[in-house]
């Protein structure tokens, strides 16, 4: 994808609502944004970098439903 994306298109690209993207920008926590006249625009490469920086590894102990499993008790710390 080339060119710049409007806030609406950038939000869709990131899987966010436009208001969320505006809020992230206002707090300085969102992807790099540029002004093009009155418009706020984003480059796909900047969105990709921001999304990549916010990835969280999936837990090995999480179930397929997305709900973490209860930790198994540690026999070394459990009184017998």
> CA-CA distance, 47 to 44, in Å (whole number)?
5
Residues 6+ away with beta carbon under 8 Å from 68: 59, 61, 62
SS3 77: coil
HSE-CB at 45 with a 13 A cutoff on CA atoms is 3
pLDDT of 25-70, one tens digit each? 999 999 999 999 999 999 999 999 999 999 888 887 655 555 556 5
Q: What is the pTM of this model?
A: 0.68
Residue 75 has pLDDT above 80, yes or no: no
Listed by start position, the domains of the chain span 5-53
Q: Please count the other Cβ atoms lying within 10 Å of the Cβ belonging to residue 51.
A: 14
Band of pLDDT at residue 1, cut at 50, 70 and 90: very low
């Amino acid at each position: 994808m080339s060119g710049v994306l409007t806030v609406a298109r950038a939000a869709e690209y990131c899987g966010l609502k436009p208001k969320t993207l505006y809020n992230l920008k206002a707090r300085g926590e969102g992807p790099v944004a540029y002004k093009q006249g009155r418009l706020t625009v984003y480059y796909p490469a900047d969105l990709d970098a921001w999304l990549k920086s916010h990835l969280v590894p999936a837990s090995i102990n999480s179930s397929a439903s997305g709900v973490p499993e209860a930790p198994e008790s540690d026999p070394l710390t459990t009184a017998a």
